[in-house]
């Protein structure tokens, strides 16, 4: 048995050496970038990861090191420390349990830090904008999130629908983006609800947002002539939670289920065969195309996988000593929006532009234009995120 | 016979050999991959110490042949109440004491509940897990700002050092080692875990020992909760959510027999905790996807456990 132990230990070391020896000979010149993620399995998360690891990593001399799925700030710090151990030059974060701690740790360790698919709050930006190692953020602003929810609800209000249910996603966890999307939905209902319509006494954007923050949920009831028949929030994903989802999707009289995040995965089975429409905010991924084709998903406000290309370039430039800063030496703060599809045909048309890691919406050639762009030029590129605008960029 | 004894002794220390092997792999691969080894050791300490301390305290429960699934939730509740106390008093000492007091109280409640209703401890801890999770949500909704309860990082910055964590771990591990290996308490625990009927017939009060064991486990939870706050001052409903499972894995990985008894080892928790972290760090260096990482970890886990327990299986007396 002693020999077996020795043999196993030798094998472990040998395999380690062998695997290590298989590394790329240009590894010394490779820029290592850590990626913090709070989701590793959703279609959106996989689409983003594939773009980075299957396209960007093959086009630029970078290596992405991903965290495991993070669930709290302690794990964020642990993952960050692991990145530092692996001598990453920068971290791109999709996780926001403790954004401040991440930025402070990066600054202390001399590692560039960037926020993908999100933005800082105004207070956070004011605090960190001049940090040397804070690259910036590119993603939907909270105002854009509000508009997304507003447009979604308005799409159905214009059709004369008046009986809604809302899936609040991470509202119970006070996730800003979900709160603002929901607020947009409610504001659209207030506007459509007739004279005196309000949500719990609130009829302004600020009031509705504040009410959701105060409650951590959304109440059912009348908003003037519009009815909120049901609400489910959180991601408990236990039997009781799924039962509540099913029950909500099958409420008598329900016409539309508005989801601040993914809706078809949680409610699709329950609405099958009914006339209830599901509207989601998620990503342009093949799974949601299938959901639209099958009639499970009726409206998709989605991010495209290559939308994270510009933040990668900004991060790479920072590492290379050519950061994208304003004239006042402030970090990036750019907003992106969503692609909207209201039919399978429209989904197919949009998805064709970003359906393959071989030919993403933002190619190497397009991104390379940003390597020496000024802040204004960079901003102009990022602002052209609509399907038509990107098509024009590719031609 | 002498040869067999030597083999048995070697096999008993298989988890330690595993830890040595993993650390060697870390240094070898790390050197070749040009990692920051010194910072890596700091990271490994940070990522292991909470689990190591909680698991060390939990050994006193597991050696009885009992099982506590609510440890992670207990860490969360203790940490939340500690942070709330700090925000109210600005006192780190009070924060520490509250963490300890809450954790020990929860542990004792578990033990007493099992005694009163004459239920297996496992059952009461399952119920306690649900209760504690509900308390977590309540504490955050009542006391948090949004979905978090946090204290300022600068308040605990002076304690967030390697030396403080090493010292804390050494003191607690030393205390537990003394109690477990050099006092009647440890011997009685092993006796109860090995053969509860015989232990009862010899006059050992399993209820009394159980209460003491849970109190020590609670002490570990409280210290772990305090260190969690020091490390990550922003707490959420998911804080320490993985600690419960990590403790179980660490203990088993460290060579602790699940059935408890005479072959229980107090060092299993520390060996297992650090082994797990070394393994995780090694997997990151290979930069494989999460799925493959989990599979490889599982295989290595099974291998180590097999080696650690293969000798024991032939030696366990029928009950």
- Tens of pLDDT, residues A150-190: 999 999 999 999 999 999 998 988 888 999 999 999 999 99
Give dist(CA B159, CA A63) in Å, integer.
Answer: 34
CA distances from B184 to A265, B190, B262 (A): 57, 10, 13
Interface check for A78 against chain B (CB to CB < 8 A): the answer is yes
Q: Which residue of A has its CA nearest to B23?
A: A13
Which residues on A lie below 8 Å from B33 (Cβ)? 20, 23, 27, 86
**Residue A171 forms part of a structural domain:** yes
pLDDT computed for residue B311 by the predictor? 58
A175/A296 same-domain check: yes
A39/A126 same-domain check: yes
B111: number of CA atoms within 13 Å, CB side? 23
Domain containing A106: what range?
31-140+305-337+360-391
- The residue of B36, B37, B48, B142 whose CB has the most chain A CBs within 10 angstroms, and thus the best one to mutate to test that interface, is B36
Query: If phi over 0 gives left and psi between -120 and 50 gives alpha, with beta otherwise, what is residue A191?
Result: alpha
**Residue A355 forms part of a structural domain:** no
Give dist(CA B103, CA B74) in Å, integer.
Answer: 6
Q: β-pairing, A277-283 with A256-259?
A: parallel
A260/A379 same-domain check: no
CB contact (8 A) between residue B21 and residue A12: yes
- For chain A, what is the total number of helices (H) and then of strands (E)? 17, 13
**Torsions phi, psi of B261, nearest 5?**
90, -160
A60 versus A2: which is more confidently predicted?
A60
pLDDT computed for residue A1 by the predictor? 47
Interface check for A50 against chain B (CB to CB < 8 A): the answer is no
Q: Which residue of B has its CA nearest to A81?
A: B43
Summarised one tens digit per residue, pLDDT across range A348-389 is 999 988 887 888 999 999 999 999 999 999 999 999 988 888
A106/A151 same-domain check: no
Which of B14, B234, B281 lies closest to A101 in CB terms?
A: B234
Summarised one tens digit per residue, pLDDT across range A245-277 is 999 999 999 999 999 998 998 998 899 889 999
pLDDT computed for residue B143 by the predictor? 77
Average pLDDT over residues A109-124: 92
A56/A161 same-domain check: no
pLDDT computed for residue B108 by the predictor? 93
Give dist(CA B67, CA A279) in Å, integer.
Answer: 45
- Select from A147, A231, A222 the least CA-distant residue to A189: A222
pLDDT computed for residue A388 by the predictor? 86
A167/A310 same-domain check: no
- Beta-carbon contacts of A307 under 8 Å, excluding residues fewer than 6 positions away, are A117, A336, A361, A362, A385
Which of B40, B232, B240 lies closest to A85 in CB terms?
A: B40
Summarised one tens digit per residue, pLDDT across range A124-149 is 999 999 999 999 999 999 999 999 99
Task: Indicate the burial class of B131 (C-beta count within 10 angstroms; 0-12, 13-18, 19 or more).
Answer: middle
CB contacts < 8 A (A, B) = 131
- The residue of B31, B40, B227 whose CB has the most chain A CBs within 10 angstroms, and thus the best one to mutate to test that interface, is B40
Which of A64, A81, A213 lies closest to B43 in CB terms?
A: A81
Shortest distance, CA B60 to any CA of chain A (angstroms):
26
On the question of pLDDT at A293 being above 90, the answer is yes
A49/A161 same-domain check: no
- Select from A41, A30, A232, A210 the least CA-distant residue to B146: A210
**Residue A91 forms part of a structural domain:** yes
- The residue of B15, B24, B25, B230 whose CB has the most chain A CBs within 10 angstroms, and thus the best one to mutate to test that interface, is B25
Which of B46, B239, B289 lies closest to A72 in CB terms?
A: B239
Q: Which residue of A has its CA nearest to B14?
A: A5
CA distances from B108 to B74, B101, B103, B187, B190 (A): 12, 10, 9, 21, 20
- Select from B288, B250, B251, B283 the least CA-distant residue to B26: B283
A175/A295 same-domain check: yes
DSSP A238: S
Q: How many CB atoms lie within 10 A of CB B189?
A: 32
A155/A299 same-domain check: yes
**Residue A5 forms part of a structural domain:** no
| Intervals of chain B under pLDDT 70 | 1-5, 7-8, 144-146, 289, 308-319
CATH number at residue A53: 3.40.50.2300
Q: β-pairing, B234-235 with B149-150?
A: antiparallel
Which residues on A lie below 8 Å from B237 (Cβ)? 173
SS3 A58: helix
- Select from A343, A330, A262 the least CA-distant residue to A295: A343
- Report the mean per-residue pLDDT for chain A: 90
Tokens 């599979």 identify what position? B295
Interface check for A73 against chain B (CB to CB < 8 A): the answer is yes
Summarised one tens digit per residue, pLDDT across range A59-113 is 999 999 999 888 889 999 999 999 999 999 999 999 988 899 999 999 999 999 9
- Select from B63, B9, B48 the least CA-distant residue to B180: B63
CB contact (8 A) between residue A85 and residue B36: yes
Which of A1, A73, A78 lies closest to B234 in CB terms?
A: A73
Which of A9, A72, A101 lies closest to B236 in CB terms?
A: A72
Report whether A97 contacts A124 (CB < 8 A).
no
Last residue of a domain, one of A258, A283, A303: A303
Shortest distance, CA B142 to any CA of chain A (angstroms):
11
- The residue of A74, A96, A170 whose CB has the most chain B CBs within 10 angstroms, and thus the best one to mutate to test that interface, is A74
Percent of chain A residues past pLDDT 70, beyond the cut: 93
**Residue A50 forms part of a structural domain:** yes
The C-alpha torsion from B140 through B145 and B148 to B149, rounded to 10°, is: -70
- Beta-carbon contacts of B316 under 8 Å, excluding residues fewer than 6 positions away, are B259
Average pLDDT over residues A11-19: 57
Interface check for A54 against chain B (CB to CB < 8 A): the answer is no
A214/A333 same-domain check: no
A28 versus B264: which is more confidently predicted?
B264
Give dist(CA A264, CA B301) in Å, integer.
Answer: 37
pLDDT computed for residue B315 by the predictor? 52
A134/A200 same-domain check: no
Summarised one tens digit per residue, pLDDT across range A180-224 is 999 999 999 999 999 999 999 999 999 999 999 988 899 999 999
Which of B141, B287, B303 lies closest to A216 in CB terms?
A: B141
How many separate domains does chain A show? 2
**Residue A42 forms part of a structural domain:** yes
ipTM topping 0.90: no
**Residue A58 forms part of a structural domain:** yes
CB contact (8 A) between residue A17 and residue B32: yes
pLDDT computed for residue A124 by the predictor? 92
CA distances from A357 to A49, A54, A150, A250, B82 (A): 10, 6, 32, 38, 48
Interface check for A18 against chain B (CB to CB < 8 A): the answer is no
pLDDT-based confidence at residue A4 (cuts at 50, 70, 90): low
Report whether B16 contacts B271 (CB < 8 A).
yes
Interface check for A173 against chain B (CB to CB < 8 A): the answer is yes
**Residue A165 forms part of a structural domain:** yes
Query: If phi over 0 gives left and psi between -120 and 50 gives alpha, with beta otherwise, what is residue A375?
Result: alpha
Last residue of a domain, one of A283, A303, A323: A303
CB contact (8 A) between residue B43 and residue A23: no
pLDDT computed for residue A6 by the predictor? 54
SS3 A65: strand
On the question of pLDDT at A341 being above 80, the answer is yes
Give dist(CA B126, CA B311) in Å, integer.
Answer: 32
Q: How many residues does chain B have?
A: 319
Interface check for A234 against chain B (CB to CB < 8 A): the answer is no
A53/A87 same-domain check: yes
- The residue of A41, A45, A82 whose CB has the most chain B CBs within 10 angstroms, and thus the best one to mutate to test that interface, is A82
């Amino acid at each position: 048995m002693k020999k077996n132990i020795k043999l196993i230990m030798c094998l472990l070391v040998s395999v380690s050496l062998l695997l290590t020896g298989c590394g790329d000979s240009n590894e010394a010149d490779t820029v290592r970038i850590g990626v913090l993620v709070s989701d590793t399995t959703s279609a959106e998360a996989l689409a983003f990861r594939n773009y980075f690891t299957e396209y960007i990593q093959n086009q630029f001399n970078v290596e992405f090191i991903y965290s495991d799925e993070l669930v709290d700030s302690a794990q964020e710090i642990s993952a960050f420390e692991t990145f530092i151990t692996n001598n990453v030059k920068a971290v791109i974060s999709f996780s926001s349990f403790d954004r401040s701690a991440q930025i402070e740790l990066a600054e202390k360790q001399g590692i560039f830090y960037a926020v993908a698919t999100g933005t800082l709050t105004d207070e956070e930006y004011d605090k960190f904008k001049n940090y040397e190692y804070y690259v910036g953020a590119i993603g939907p602003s909270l105002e854009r999130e509000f508009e997304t929810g507003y447009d979604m609800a308005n799409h159905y209000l214009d059709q004369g629908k008046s009986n809604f249910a809302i899936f609040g996603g991470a509202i119970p966890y006070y996730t800003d983006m979900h709160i603002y999307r929901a607020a947009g939905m409610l504001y659209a209902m207030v506007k459509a609800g007739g004279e005196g319509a309000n949500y719990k006494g609130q009829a302004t954007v600020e009031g509705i947002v504040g009410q959701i923050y105060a409650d951590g949920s959304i109440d059912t009831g009348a908003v003037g002539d519009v009815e909120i028949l049901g609400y489910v929030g959180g991601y408990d994903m236990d039997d009781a939670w799924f039962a509540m989802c099913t029950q909500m999707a099958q409420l008598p009289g329900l016409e539309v289920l508005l989801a601040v995040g993914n809706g078809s995965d949680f409610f699709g089975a329950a609405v099958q065969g009914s006339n209830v429409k599901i509207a989601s905010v998620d990503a342009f991924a093949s799974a949601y195309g299938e959901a639209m084709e099958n009639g499970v998903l009726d409206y998709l406000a989605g991010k495209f996988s290559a939308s994270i290309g510009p933040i990668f370039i900004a991060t790479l430039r920072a590492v290379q000593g050519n950061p994208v800063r304003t004239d006042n030496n402030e970090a990036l703060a750019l907003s992106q929006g969503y692609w909207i599809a209201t039919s399978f045909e429209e989904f197919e048309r949009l998805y064709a532009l970003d359906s393959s890691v071989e030919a993403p919406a933002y190619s190497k050639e397009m991104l390379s234009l940003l390597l020496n762009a000024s802040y204004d030029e960079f901003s102009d590129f990022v602002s052209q995120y609509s399907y038509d605008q990107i098509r024009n960029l590719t031609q | 016979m002498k040869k067999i004894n030597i083999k048995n002794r070697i096999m008993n220390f298989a988890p330690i050999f595993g830890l040595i092997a993993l650390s060697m792999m870390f240094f070898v691969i790390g050197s070749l991959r040009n990692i920051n080894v010194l910072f890596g050791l700091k990271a490994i300490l940070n990522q292991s110490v909470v689990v190591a301390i909680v698991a060390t305290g939990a050994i006193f429960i597991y050696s009885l042949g009992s099982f506590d699934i609510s440890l992670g939730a207990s860490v969360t509740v203790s940490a939340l109440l500690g942070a709330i106390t700090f925000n109210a008093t600005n006192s780190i000492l009070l924060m520490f004491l509250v963490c300890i007091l809450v954790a020990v109280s929860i542990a004792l409640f578990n033990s007493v509940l099992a005694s009163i209703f004459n239920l297996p401890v496992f059952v009461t801890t399952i119920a306690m897990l649900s209760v504690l999770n509900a308390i977590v949500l309540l504490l955050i909704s009542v006391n948090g700002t949004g979905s978090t309860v946090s204290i300022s990082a600068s308040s605990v910055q002076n304690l967030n050092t390697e030396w403080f964590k090493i010292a804390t771990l050494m003191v607690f591990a030393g205390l537990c080692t003394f109690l477990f290996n050099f006092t009647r308490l440890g011997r009685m625990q092993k006796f109860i875990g090995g053969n509860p009927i015989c232990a009862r017939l010899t006059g050992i009060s399993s209820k009394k020992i159980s209460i003491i064991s849970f109190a020590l486990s609670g002490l570990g939870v409280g210290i772990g909760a305090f260190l969690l706050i020091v490390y990550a001052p922003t707490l959420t409903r998911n804080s320490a959510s993985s600690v419960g499972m990590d403790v179980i894995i660490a203990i088993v990985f460290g060579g602790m027999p699940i059935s408890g008894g005479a072959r229980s080892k107090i060092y299993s928790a520390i060996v297992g905790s650090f082994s797990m972290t070394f393994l995780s760090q090694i997997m990151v260096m290979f930069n494989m996807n999460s799925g493959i990482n989990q599979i490889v970890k599982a295989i290595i886990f099974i291998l180590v456990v097999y080696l650690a327990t293969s000798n024991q299986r032939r030696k366990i007396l029928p009950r």
